Amino acid sequence: MRGLPNFGNTCYINSILQIIFNTAGVVLLAKDSEIARLYTGYHSEGDWSPDLLVKFIRTSNVFSGMQGDQHEFLMELMTIIHEDQCEKMSFNLVPYEPLLTALDTAALQSFQLNGLTGKGENLKNCDYGYMSPIVSAFTGQVKAETVCPCGGISNRFDTFRAVELSLPSTGSAPSTPSASSTLEECIKAFNTPEIIAGYTCDACQNATNAVHSVAFWRLPPIMIFTLKRTGNTGAKNNAVIQAPDILDLRPYVLRSSKCSPTYRLYAVAHHSGWANYGHCFSSVRKNDIWYTINDGNIGLLPERQNSPTDYMYFYERVPQ
């Protein structure tokens, strides 16, 4: 763990790099790329050159000169890492088809086509995909279901790398915190069915009011939750969300799995200030000790507390 220099409005980049580079299970192979050299330099012993960070920022086109959003940068960073580190792999459903339900088969095919893509290639009708640390550590899957009053059901499977959660109240000025809630309540709201007006059903061909719901189908080793703190008005919601140290996702998963649905908080990405202006930093747990990492400064955090600056939560799976 080391500090990263702020070159002017690059705190959002630093805060996410600190978390990803300190995520267990995410190891980047040494390759002829700026992200791999930055990762190797970050984890090297002794001094390292800040030029590694400068070169990564310049060559990756992730910085426009203005402060960016941590969630958006994380998505860009994951694409960069995936395309740099991915390796071609083959997959074959045939041996498993007798053991799979129709939904299992649809979910697996969708994950292969959408979760294992790489280098801009379309995997439709292909018997291969691309595995990477991003796929193996961060990529999960949800099932979206739409039910028509006639009984017709439409299912769709989508992959995710971070789950965006709405807050229970409207935005407010940074100086006026909104009402508190819990992360579990935000996840429950994400799973709560909603009415879709004017839905055209494939079964009855009528435009009706259908019920739409989303639930987790495949949970990755690392679960990331992003709070939607900025609404349509541009105001920032500073609600203090009560995020537990141990998170049980069992109530929100549709299928049983051999993998544990219990997760432990290991990092938080913070944003202080207004929606379009402020400062980004991070908190990371290493060896059961919390650290606050603010650009080049690293300090001990005696006790992690829920804060209106909490923006993104990073949870790692607890083995069964």
The string of pLDDT tens digits covering residues 146-155 is: 999 999 999 9
Question: Within a domain: residue 110?
Answer: no
170 contact partners, CB below 8 Å, separation of at least 6: 178, 231, 235, 237
Listed residue (121, 111, 60) closest to 218, CA to CA: 111
CA atoms of 276 and 271, how far apart (whole Å): 10
Question: Within a domain: residue 125?
Answer: no
Question: Within a domain: residue 49?
Answer: yes
Q: Check: CB of residue 82 under 8 Å from CB of residue 118.
A: yes
126 contact partners, CB below 8 Å, separation of at least 6: none
Entry pTM: 0.92
201 contact partners, CB below 8 Å, separation of at least 6: 148, 150, 152, 154, 207, 208, 210
pLDDT given at position 235:
85
Tokens 């049980």 belong to 248
pLDDT given at position 75:
96
pLDDT given at position 174:
41
Question: Within a domain: residue 115?
Answer: no
CA atoms of 190 and 167, how far apart (whole Å): 10
Question: Within a domain: residue 113?
Answer: no
- Domain membership of residue 256 as a residue range: 11-86+132-317
Q: How far is CA 72 from CA 34, 67, 68, 77, 79, in A?
A: 20, 11, 8, 9, 11
Query: Percentage of the chain with pLDDT > 90?
Result: 66
Instruction: Please tell me the total count of domains within the chain.
Output: 1
46 contact partners, CB below 8 Å, separation of at least 6: none
Does the pLDDT at position 20 exceed 90? yes
Does the pLDDT at position 95 exceed 80? no
pLDDT given at position 119:
65
CA atoms of 285 and 292, how far apart (whole Å): 9
313 contact partners, CB below 8 Å, separation of at least 6: 183, 224, 225, 243, 265, 267, 268
Question: Within a domain: residue 254?
Answer: yes
pLDDT given at position 175:
39
More confident position, 120 or 128: 128
Confidence of residue 106 (pLDDT cuts 50, 70, 90): confident
Q: How far apart are the first and last CA of the chain?
A: 28
pLDDT given at position 122:
66
Question: Within a domain: residue 202?
Answer: yes
Span 242-292, pLDDT tens digits = 999 999 999 999 877 788 999 999 999 999 988 778 999 999 999 999 999
Does the pLDDT at position 96 exceed 80? no
63 contact partners, CB below 8 Å, separation of at least 6: 9, 10, 13, 57
Query: Containing H/E element for 79?
Result: helix 70-85
Span 38-80, pLDDT tens digits = 999 999 988 889 999 999 999 998 888 888 999 999 999 999 9
Question: Within a domain: residue 107?
Answer: no
> What CATH number has the domain bearing residue 299?
3.90.70.10
More confident position, 17 or 181: 17
